[in-house]
Amino acid sequence: MTAPLLRRALDAGARYAAHGDPRVAAGNTIALLVASNQPFYPIYLYWLVGDTITPAWFTFLSTPFFLAVPAVARRNAVAGRALLPLAGIGNTLLCASLFGVQSAVEIFLIPCAVIALLLFRPSERLIAFGLCAIAFGAYFLLHDRYGAPMVAYTADEYTALARLNIVSASTLTAFAALVFSNLLARTETSAEAAGGKKSG
């Protein structure tokens, strides 16, 4: 019973993420991956620091924005793609305020910037650079200005949080690279096929 339900959910997600523009479809896929992983964050946090996980519940404020990316992209492809890194930046800044910079959560600004650069074509590079500027500008302007976090964890707990965030941000960056590597491979295959037809 569980397997068919999971298959239907995955198929529905794939249909929701689908788009005629491969870059938009890639951004939609990444957005839904992030949204689908957010419910597990309180579980990871509970495993690391016990029941002091109140800040984790506030991270769900960003979930609707990630889920909305494919819907927005259907109306405006540029806006949909821009919403993904903007939602990520907003969620990162919120988490930095909630958990404190000692948690190393600001490292998520890196995949936000990388995804922004990958989502936009060379002709749209000003948008990508603008989103990168927001990500890195937020770090330089806010890093020392968040104030006291909602919960003060111990040094060992902050070490565990930092490890979780570093691994998670690295995994997200690698996944984004894999998605766009596959996109490039499909483009190259299509170009080779078109070249073969012309030669024939």
pTM: 0.90
Tens place of pLDDT per residue across the chain (200 aa): 467 777 888 888 899 999 999 999 999 999 999 999 999 999 999 998 888 899 999 999 999 999 999 999 999 999 999 999 999 999 999 999 999 999 999 999 999 999 999 999 999 999 999 999 999 999 999 998 999 999 989 999 999 999 999 999 999 999 999 999 998 887 776 655 555 555 55
pLDDT at 198: 56
Cα separation, 44 vs 135, in Å, equals 25
For residue 112, which of 145, 79, 95, 90 has the smallest C-alpha distance? 90
> In the block, which residue shows the tokens 């990444």?
30
pLDDT at 199: 53
**Helix 77-99 vs helix 22-37: crossing angle, to nearest 10:** 30
What DSSP line would sit under 2-21, residue for residue? HHHHHHHHHHHHHHHH--SS
Cα separation, 173 vs 110, in Å, equals 8
Count of Cβ atoms closer than 10 Å to residue 161 Cβ: 21
pLDDT at 51: 85
Q: What does the CA dihedral 150, 156, 161, 164 come to, rounded to 10 degrees?
A: -170
